[in-house]
A and B are shown apart, each in its own frame.
Chain A
Amino acid sequence: MIELFNVTKKYGNKTAINNISLFVRSGEVLGLLGPNGAGKSTTMRIIAGYLLPTSGSVKVAGFDVVKEPVTAKRYIGYLPENPPLYKDMTVYDYINFAAELRGLKGKDKAHHVNRVIEEVGISDVKKRLIGHLSRGYRQRVGLAQALVANPQVLILDEPTVGLDPQQIIEIRQLIQELSGKRTVILSSHILPEVSSLCHRVAIINKGNLIVENTPQNLGKSLMGHQEIVLQIKGPQDKICTTLESLSGIKNITVSKVLKENLCEYTVQSELDKDIRESLFYAMSEGNFPILEMKSSFMSLEEIFLELVTEEPTAASQKEAN
């Protein structure tokens, strides 16, 4: 649905994004993750047709956004980082205007305007001036504008930035509902947001696409092994020897001694092997009850830091602040 082929964007001689290729399938929600200045907004603006790429090409629904901008834009609903709102217009008039610009007319237009106002929950403020609304409501109006023509592709640039925690929860819920059958690209520098809303995550830093995968796979591939944390009752040395006898085990550590005869073990195994079953049978054979077993993935937070953080130099520290 969205295809980026070797897209590079330079502002003057500063490279904002560098040779990014990215494909988003129909119905998929892709999270674009990266620190401030990574190039998320630039990427989204190029897809939305607000900026031309310096080189490379972008297709939305099969249409080249540079060669057939008007057709491509018909498929896209776009919410920029700062919601583009007319403060002296009423909510209804603004959504109506957005609908007209997308070519809706007459009854069809009225239907879509009312539908989207209902959908994003702004019915009770539709007669108010946008300038008088709270940030949370403004963000909803911004979403309504993007959604009014029921676009197949939704591009949301940091949709929860600047909202208070309650509003963030509400907007995230709304996005989850709205994603539905749509193809969505969503940018964020907040990690849990991306892992909860997105099927796939693309991490960019300094204009480069670093890695792209499902949130779960990202964790696995980065650690290079799987990790299981267990609480097992029984003598420590015997349990350890039993564990060592299993195939596919890379490393065993006793991470905590909880009681006499009860310890927490961290077991690392090869990536492509699921050892949980054989582990269970081995323990039950030896009469060592497993009280707790959980897989431990690296959280996105850790992945992100691992990927993005380099040896911090004084200069880059300053930039980050």
Chain B
Amino acid sequence: MNAVISIFKKEIKGFFYSPLAYVISAVILALGGYFFSVTLFTTRIADISGVFMNLAVILIFAAPALTMKLLAGEEQDGTMEFLLTSPITVPQLIIGKYLAALGFFLFITALTFIYPGILLTLSTPDKGVILATYLGFFLLVAAYLSIGILCSSFTKSQVIASISGFGILLLLWISSWLSDSISGPLGSFFKTLSISEHYMDFLRGVIDTTHIVYFMSIILVSLILSMYSVSSRVWS
């Protein structure tokens, strides 16, 4: 537990000191604010689902950019040897890093509270929908980051880590499109696999356990695969 906290502290400090993390946060918030005000002024409907749909797409790019350094960077700098010869376990390492990325995103998410905040002062939006939206957004980001970490564990190139993460997330996002053109069990498989399919319900205010299970499974599988991927360096 102590090792997890130490790694968490080091990484979260790394995020808050890193210019890249601020640039990414600024882009997310600026685009989010833009979508928010456009929907607000054009439709005059007190609704944040549009913003959070757009944020989910932006994060397909942003999440891997934030996680790319977490393992690939250590490998590149030769510091993985330092970590793996310390008296800690690989699961502690991965979980510490994952929680730090999640922590930094919670900070960004907290900044998005402006949008519902403005709505609440202007009108009376459905609070249940807002809560469901945030739960969905949290799960979505948590899943994105776990895939980002997994991609960062395969390589020592941060560029490859971020691009492959971006590719995988994009494929998962659009795999529901395939289900439109493919019928039968394969089509429904792609639909089940699709992130957007599971995310959308939250934006409508629906909290369905299958969606929660879906996101939790992605997180679990990605983190376990990351642990194997890092350990395999020792086994090789």
Contacts and interface: CB of A to CB of B under 8 A. Distances in A.
Contact of B87 (A45, A70, A82, A86): A70
Contacts of B234: 49-52
Interface residues of B, number: 24
Nearest to A82: B78
B84 A103 contact: no
B85 A49 contact: yes
Interface residues of A, number: 29
Interface stretch (B2-10, B29-37, B98-106, B120-128): B2-10
A297 interface: no
Contacts of B87: 69-71, 73-74, 101-103
B82 A100 contact: no
Nearest to B80: A84
Nearest to A51: B234
Interface string B81-117: 1111111110000000000000000000000000000
Interface in A91-123: 97-98, 100-103, 105
Contact of A50 (B14, B17, B85): B85
Contacts of B78: 80, 82, 84
Interface string A38-82: 000000010011111000000000000000011101101010101
Contact of A84 (B2, B6, B10, B82): B82
A48 B85 contact: yes
A85 B81 CA distance: 10
A14 to B, nearest CB: 12
Contact of B235 (A11, A52, A70, A100): A52
Name the residue in B3, B7, B9, B87 with the highest tally of chain A Cβ atoms < 10 Å from its Cβ. B87
Interface residues of B: mostly helix, strand, loop or mixed?
Answer: helix
Interface in A174-230: none
A87 interface: yes
Nearest to B13: A93
A105 B85 contact: no
Interface in A258-309: none
Contacts of A78: 85
A244 interface: no
A28 B174 CA distance: 62
Interface in B32-81: 77-81
Interface hub of B7, B80, B85, B89 (most chain A Cβ within 10 A): B85
A13 to B, nearest CB: 13
A318 B6 CA distance: 47
A97 B6 contact: yes
A170 interface: no
Nearest to A71: B87
Contacts of A69: 87
Given A70-B89, A97-B10, A50 B2 contact: no
Interface of A: 11, 45, 48-52, 69-71, 73-74, 76, 78, 80, 82, 84-88, 97-98, 100-103, 105, 145
